[in-house]
């Protein structure tokens, strides 16, 4: 019981004792509680918040917002210092420009915040529903001048994200909005650790991913995960607040996506995924989804087809999206290691993952009938409406299949997962459904990754199945996907980097018209290793960010955000 005394010396730390008790098993917790004097336990219960939602709300939360140096954490014994010393230094911050939101307001004008929130909640939120809509609307209506508020940082991150999806953003250079988003990142660093701060970091990571700053996306996701662990989000369960569970789930999902895009192992593993599903019998599940009206756009996008309002069903879609992301996480954590050089290990991993994918598809809810959609011909699919989050879900499934296709050099998965042809056709169907109904500016940052995987498989098909010396020349499906990739670049300039890369591949030696390389020379060359086309070869393209430039800094084990700030201190650019 001596360790409890250490925590009880400082009243502000009592919530950590209860947090520790929550992490114990039921039997262990009962034994510890019996050993705690009743008066002490009553004091703990009285003074500590009972739920994570209470940590993020109420007077305690307000006091911490007003004093950003008061982090909701205790000073561990390993620091070698007492709490008074910690209090004297924890409020010190490096001097960087932090957004006061005035420039953000100027940029989004004449758009109204509520209109931009509508756009965000229509096109991004259903795929990654971590932000509390009611709470952020209240923040927008009662915004304070406190620049260190995590709630305000989240609000303006969401507003800038939503503005980037509008036609209003077209004439503005990316450099301006990227600079403002960077300032919001610094704003978040001055805020207390909270769910809102984690959410803003995750959303900023997706934004920077889309804008070609992949290294920064990787670092921000890393800090969001670490901050989530600090807050205990990874311990969320059925009894936890829904937003706490969803935020941690999005930490896992976005960490896996960004790491997968960079060919790296995610921080989280399948052991970090929580099993609790989100309740589907809710207003969110059955609320009508319809595209928001963009009142400020002088040149609205003219769609060839129109979305018709229908129940969004995005909670059930999120549940299955989370499940397939978990499958992908396990695969990515294994495939991005040296052990994949062993053919037996590789074969076992491919087969087990393929079986998991098949079971996932076979157990989808009836309103997400992926099998029926795949079996519908392309012309008939053109009239079938897929809501944006369903497009992201189906395309995500295609992409996990492609990750297996790319590594499966022996074609051992036929009959378990869709063939190369079937998967590429599903990608084409989903992209047509999306881009025929909404502006290309509404694309998710994930589309660039998914499209690049489909194009890699097109390349593999041409070389290994069709034996073509020039597999991408006059390849209609490849060119169609290439066009969609360019469309994504209207909102996300990072897609233009990949687009130019694929143009380079299409025109490169050994793949251009009139090249004398024989079919056998190509088939027997190193072309069977398609992983470089997905990951490392992109770095050879001029203008692509050097993804390894910060490795020595990260190798020290310090915070990813700390590495980024040090780079800025030394005159680096974001």
Residue with tokens 């059955």: 286
**From CA 415, how far away is CA 316, in angstroms rounded?**
27
CA of residue 210 relative to chain centroid, distance: 11
The pLDDT score that the predictor gives to residue 57 is 38
Alpha-carbon distances, residue 298 vs 41, 122, 305 (angstroms): 63, 21, 20
Residue with tokens 């992983």: 531
Tokens of 430: 């989903």
The pLDDT score that the predictor gives to residue 397 is 98
Residue with tokens 């395309």: 395
**From CA 528, how far away is CA 405, in angstroms rounded?**
11
CB-based contact 276:237 (threshold 8 Å): yes
- CB-based contacts of 73: which residues, under 8 Å, 6+ apart? 16, 193, 230
The pLDDT score that the predictor gives to residue 190 is 76
**Continuous segment of H or E residues that includes residue 289:** strand 288-289
Predicted TM-score (pTM) of the model is 0.77
What is the full per-residue pLDDT of the chain (574 aa) written as tens digits? 444 443 343 443 334 454 455 545 556 656 665 666 666 555 555 544 333 334 333 333 344 444 443 444 444 545 455 555 444 444 444 445 556 688 888 999 889 999 999 999 999 999 999 999 999 999 998 866 555 578 999 999 999 999 999 999 988 888 889 999 999 998 887 778 899 999 999 999 999 999 989 889 999 999 999 999 999 999 998 888 999 999 999 999 999 999 999 889 999 999 999 999 999 988 899 999 999 987 765 555 566 788 999 999 999 999 999 999 999 999 999 988 876 667 888 889 999 999 999 999 999 999 999 999 999 999 888 889 999 999 999 999 999 999 999 888 777 888 899 999 999 999 999 999 999 999 999 999 999 999 999 999 998 888 877 777 677 878 899 999 999 999 999 999 989 988 998 898 888 745 444 443 433 333 333 334 444 444 333 333 333 333 333 332 222 333 333 344 344 444 444 3
Q: What is the pLDDT of residues 407-440, one digit of tens each?
A: 887 778 888 999 999 999 999 999 999 999 999 9
CB-based contact 482:433 (threshold 8 Å): no
**From CA 281, how far away is CA 267, in angstroms rounded?**
32
SS3 311: strand
Q: Nearest 10 degrees: CA dihedral of 400, 403, 407, 413?
A: 30
The pLDDT score that the predictor gives to residue 379 is 87
The pLDDT score that the predictor gives to residue 475 is 87
The pLDDT score that the predictor gives to residue 1 is 43
Alpha-carbon distances, residue 29 vs 9, 15, 20, 21, 24 (angstroms): 22, 15, 9, 6, 6
CB-based contact 102:152 (threshold 8 Å): no
């Amino acid at each position: 019981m001596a360790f409890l005394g250490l925590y009880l010396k400082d009243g502000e730390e009592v919530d950590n004792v209860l947090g520790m008790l929550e992490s114990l098993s039921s039997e262990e917790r009962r034994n510890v509680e019996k050993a705690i004097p009743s008066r002490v336990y009553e004091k703990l219960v009285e003074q500590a918040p009972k739920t994570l939602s209470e940590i993020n709300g109420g007077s305690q939360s307000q006091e911490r917002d007003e004093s950003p140096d008061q982090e909701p954490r205790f000073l561990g014994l390993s620091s070698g210092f007492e709490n008074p010393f910690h209090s004297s230094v924890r409020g010190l911050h490096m001097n960087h420009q932090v957004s006061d939101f005035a420039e953000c307001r100027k940029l989004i004008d004449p758009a109204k915040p509520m209109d931009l929130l509508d756009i965000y909640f229509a096109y991004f939120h259903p795929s990654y529903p971590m932000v509390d809509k009611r709470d952020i609307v209240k923040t927008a209506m009662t915004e304070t001048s406190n620049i260190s508020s995590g709630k305000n940082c989240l609000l303006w991150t969401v507003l800038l994200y939503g503005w980037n999806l509008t036609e209003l953003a077209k004439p503005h250079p990316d450099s301006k909005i990227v600079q403002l988003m960077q300032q919001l990142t610094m704003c978040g660093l001055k805020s207390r650790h909270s769910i809102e701060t984690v959410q803003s970091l995750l959303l900023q990571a997706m934004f920077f991913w889309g804008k070609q700053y992949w290294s920064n996306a990787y670092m921000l996701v890393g800090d969001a995960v670490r901050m989530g662990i600090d807050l205990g989000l990874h311990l969320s369960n059925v009894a936890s607040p829904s937003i706490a569970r969803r935020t941690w789930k999005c930490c896992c999902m976005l960490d896996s996506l960004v790491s997968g895009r960079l060919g790296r192992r995610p921080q989280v593993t399948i052991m970090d995924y929580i099993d609790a599903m989100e309740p589907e019998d809710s207003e969110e599940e059955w609320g009508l989804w319809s595209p928001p009206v963009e009142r400020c756009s002088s040149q609205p996008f003219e769609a060839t087809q129109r979305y018709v309002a229908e129940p969004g069903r995005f909670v059930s879609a999120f549940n299955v999206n989370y499940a397939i992301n978990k499958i992908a996480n396990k695969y990515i954590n294994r495939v991005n290691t040296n052990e994949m050089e062993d053919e037996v290990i590789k074969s076992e991993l491919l087969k087990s993952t393929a079986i998991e994918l098949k079971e996932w598809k076979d157990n989808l809810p009836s309103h997400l009938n992926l099998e029926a959609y795949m079996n519908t011909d392309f012309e008939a699919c053109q009239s079938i409406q897929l809501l944006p989050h369903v497009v992201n879900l189906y395309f995500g499934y295609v992409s996990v299949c492609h990750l297996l296709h790319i590594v499966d050099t022996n074609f051992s998965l036929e009959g378990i997962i869709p063939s190369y042809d079937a998967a590429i056709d599903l990608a084409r169907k989903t992209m047509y459904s999306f881009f025929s109904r909404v502006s290309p500016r509404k694309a998710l940052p994930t589309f660039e990754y998914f499209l690049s995987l489909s194009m890699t498989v097109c390349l593999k098909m041409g070389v290994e199945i069709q034996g073509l010396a020039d597999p991408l020349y006059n390849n209609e499906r490849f060119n169609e996907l290439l066009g969609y990739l360019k469309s994504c670049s209207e909102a996300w300039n990072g897609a233009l980097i990949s687009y130019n890369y694929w143009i380079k591949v299409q025109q490169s030696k050994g793949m251009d018209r009139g090249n004398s390389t024989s079919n056998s020379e190509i088939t027997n060359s190193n072309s069977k290793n398609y992983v470089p086309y997905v990951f490392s070869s992109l770095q050879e393209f001029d203008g692509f960010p050097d993804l390894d430039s910060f490795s020595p800094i990260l190798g020290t084990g310090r915070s990813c955000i700390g590495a980024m700030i040090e780079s800025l201190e030394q005159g680096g650019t974001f």
